[in-house]
C-alpha cells in the first residue's frame, strides 16, 4: 500500500516535470508502455495469493487510470504551450514598413507626369489620350497645317512608309506624332464642349543632342467653352507653374509667338537665375522658355466639328522631359533613356510617394532636392 502511494508520487512528479510533448511521451512509455513500471507490476500480480491479487489489481488499475488522466492533462497543457510559442515566433506585424527595402524607382518622367496630372486634375481637367501613330490629317492638316505648309518642315517628322518595301516616303499618310496636339482634334471629334482636358504622351522628332531626343514627352492642354479668353489661359498656366515648382510666386511673361493652330499664339517664360553651376527658378533676371500656348484657331475648331462662332478656347503644350530637367536639375536629356540603373537610383523616386495636391507633389521639397 505504502509503496503504491510512493510510486504514485514519484510517477506523477515525472509527468509534471516533462517540459515538452516528446519527453512526456517518454514518461508515458516508462509508466504504461510494454515494459513500463505499471505494466511490470501488473505482470507480477500472478504470483500473489488470490486476495492480495484482487486487492493489488484494483489499486494498480486505479493508479493507472489516475496517471493516464494526468498524462492527458499534461499533454494538453504542453500542446497549448507549444502552439502559443509557435504563434509568437511566426507573428507578422503587417504595419511594419516593407522589407527588404524597396529597390525599384519611379523614373523622373513618370513622376513629372503624375505631378502634372495631379495639378490639372485638381483644377477639373480630364486626361485624354491618342495614338502614337497618327495620320497626317490629325497631326497636321486638322491643326491648320495644310499640305505644303512650311510648318510641317519645322517638326523633323518621322514619316511611316505605306509600303513596307519603301523605307522613307514624304507622301505617306502616317507619321509618328510630332506633338500631342492631334489629341485636341480627337477630343473635339468625340466630345461636345465644354471641354477641359490634358493629354500627356510620347512624341517623336528626328533630333538628338543634350536637350533633344528622338522620343520625348509632351502634355497638351485644351479648354473650350463659350466665353473662354486669354485671361483664363494666363490664370490657369500661372496657377499650374506655381504648383508645379512648389513656389508661392514665380515671375512669368508671355512672348508673342507663332503656331499654326493657335491665334494669337504665345510662349510662356519663367524668371530664373542662371549661373554656370546653378539654375534657380523664381529668382534673378534671366528668362526661360517653358511652354507654347494660344487661343485655338477657328480653323482647328472647324476641323474638330465645333462651331467657332459659338465656342472658343485655349490650348497649350509643354515638354515633360524639359520640366523634369528643370525641376530636378538633370543636365542631359539623353541620359533619361539610357536605362542606367545607377542613374535611376540617383534621380528616381520611391514608388510609395504618390504625388497629390494635398499630400505633396514631389515629397522631397521640390527644388530643394
Instruction: Indicate whether 213 belongs to the interface with ligand PHE (CB under 6 A).
Output: no
For residue 315, the cross-strand partners are 222, 294
Q: Which is nearer to ligand PHE, 14 or 221 (CB)?
A: 221
Least gap, CB of 351 to ligand PHE (angstroms)? 30
Applying CB under 6 A, which part among 76-84, 242-250, 312-320, 358-366 lies near ligand PHE? Answer: 312-320
Applying CB under 6 A, which part among 102-110, 280-288, 302-310, 313-321 lies near ligand PHE? Answer: 313-321
Least gap, CB of 335 to ligand PHE (angstroms)? 22
Instruction: Indicate whether 313 belongs to the interface with ligand PHE (CB under 6 A).
Output: no
d(CA 35, CA 44): 12
Among 260, 255, 256, 257, smallest CA distance to 151 is for 260
Binders of ligand PHE: how many residues, by CB under 6 A?
11
Least gap, CB of 325 to ligand PHE (angstroms)? 17
Identify residues 242-261 at the interface with ligand PHE (CB under 6 A). 259
DSSP assignment of 105-149: -B-HHHHHHHHHHHHHHHTTPEE----SEEEHHHHTGGGT--TT-
Instruction: Indicate whether 204 belongs to the interface with ligand PHE (CB under 6 A).
Output: no
d(CA 4, CA 10): 10
Site string for ligand PHE, 167-196 (x = CB under 6 A): ------------x-x---------------
Burial of 114 (0-12, 13-18, 19+ CB in 10 A): buried
Using CB atoms, what's the residue nearest to ligand PHE? 317
Site string for ligand PHE, 270-309 (x = CB under 6 A): ----------------------xxx---------------
Q: Which is nearer to ligand PHE, 282 or 294 (CB)?
A: 294
Q: Which is nearer to ligand PHE, 134 or 220 (CB)?
A: 220
Question: Which one of 14, 200, 304, 317 is in contact with ligand PHE (CB under 6 A)?
Answer: 317
Residues near 313 by beta carbon (within 8 Å), at least 6 away in sequence: 193, 195, 222, 223, 224, 225, 228, 295, 296, 301
Question: Helix, strand, coil % (nearest 5) of the chain?
Answer: 45, 20, 35
Question: Which one of 188, 315, 320, 323 is in contact with ligand PHE (CB under 6 A)?
Answer: 315
Cβ atoms of residues 296 and 315 within 8 Å: yes
Least gap, CB of 319 to ligand PHE (angstroms)? 8
Site string for ligand PHE, 220-239 (x = CB under 6 A): x-------------------
Instruction: Indicate whether 157 belongs to the interface with ligand PHE (CB under 6 A).
Output: no
Least gap, CB of 355 to ligand PHE (angstroms)? 23
Phi, psi (deg, nearest 5) at residue 24: -65, -40
Instruction: Indicate whether 216 belongs to the interface with ligand PHE (CB under 6 A).
Output: no
Least gap, CB of 220 to ligand PHE (angstroms)? 6
Q: Give the three cell numbers for residue 279.
A: 539654375
| Secondary structure, 3-state, 177-202 | CCCCCHHHHHHHHHCCCCEEEEEEEE
Instruction: Indicate whether 139 belongs to the interface with ligand PHE (CB under 6 A).
Output: no
Three-state DSSP at 154 gives: helix
Kindly give the pairing relationship between strand 262-274 and strand 279-281.
antiparallel
d(CA 232, CA 239): 11
Rg (CA), the chain: 40
**Contacts with ligand PHE, residue ranges (CB under 6 A):** 179, 181, 220, 259, 262, 292-294, 315-317
Amino acid at each position: 500500500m505504502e509503496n503504491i502511494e510512493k510510486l504514485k508520487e514519484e510517477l506523477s512528479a515525472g509527468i509534471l516535470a516533462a517540459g515538452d510533448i516528446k519527453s512526456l511521451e517518454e514518461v508515458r512509455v516508462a509508466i504504461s508502455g510494454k515494459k513500463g513500471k505499471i505494466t511490470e507490476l501488473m505482470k507480477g500480480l500472478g504470483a500473489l495469493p488470490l486476495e492480495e491479487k484482487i486487492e493489488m489489481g484494483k489499486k494498480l488499475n486505479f493508479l493507472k487510470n489516475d496517471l493516464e488522466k494526468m498524462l492527458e492533462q499534461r499533454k494538453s497543457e504542453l500542446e497549448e504551450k507549444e502552439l502559443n510559442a509557435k504563434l509568437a515566433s511566426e507573428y507578422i506585424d503587417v504595419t511594419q514598413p516593407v522589407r527588404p527595402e524597396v529597390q525599384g524607382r519611379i523614373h523622373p518622367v513618370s513622376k513629372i507626369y503624375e505631378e502634372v496630372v495631379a495639378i490639372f486634375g485638381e483644377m477639373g481637367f480630364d486626361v485624354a489620350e491618342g495614338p502614337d501613330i497618327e495620320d497626317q490629317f490629325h497631326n497636321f492638316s486638322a491643326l491648320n497645317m495644310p499640305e505644303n505648309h512650311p510648318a510641317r518642315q519645322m517638326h523633323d517628322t518621322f514619316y511611316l512608309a505605306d509600303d513596307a518595301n519603301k523605307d522613307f516616303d514624304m507622301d505617306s499618310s502616317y507619321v509618328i506624332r510630332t506633338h500631342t496636339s492631334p489629341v485636341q482634334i480627337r477630343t473635339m471629334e468625340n466630345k461636345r464642349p465644354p471641354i477641359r482636358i490634358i493629354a500627356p504622351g510620347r512624341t517623336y522628332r528626328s533630333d538628338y543632342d543634350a536637350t533633344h531626343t528622338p522620343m520625348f514627352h509632351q502634355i497638351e492642354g485644351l479648354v473650350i467653352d463659350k466665353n473662354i479668353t486669354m485671361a483664363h489661359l494666363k490664370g490657369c498656366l500661372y496657377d499650374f507653374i506655381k504648383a508645379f515648382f512648389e513656389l508661392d510666386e514665380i515671375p512669368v511673361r508671355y512672348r508673342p509667338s507663332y503656331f499654326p493652330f493657335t491665334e494669337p499664339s504665345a510662349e510662356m517664360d519663367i524668371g530664373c537665375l542662371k549661373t554656370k553651376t546653378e539654375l534657380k527658378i523664381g529668382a534673378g533676371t534671366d528668362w526661360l522658355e517653358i511652354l507654347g500656348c494660344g487661343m485655338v484657331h477657328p480653323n482647328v475648331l472647324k476641323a474638330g466639328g465645333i462651331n467657332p462662332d459659338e465656342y472658343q478656347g485655349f490650348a497649350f503644350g509643354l515638354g515633360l522631359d524639359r520640366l523634369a530637367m528643370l525641376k530636378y536639375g538633370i543636365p542631359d536629356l539623353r541620359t533619361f533613356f539610357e536605362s542606367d540603373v545607377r542613374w535611376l537610383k540617383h534621380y528616381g523616386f520611391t514608388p510609395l510617394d504618390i504625388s497629390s495636391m494635398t499630400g505633396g507633389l514631389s515629397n522631397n521639397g521640390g527644388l530643394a532636392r
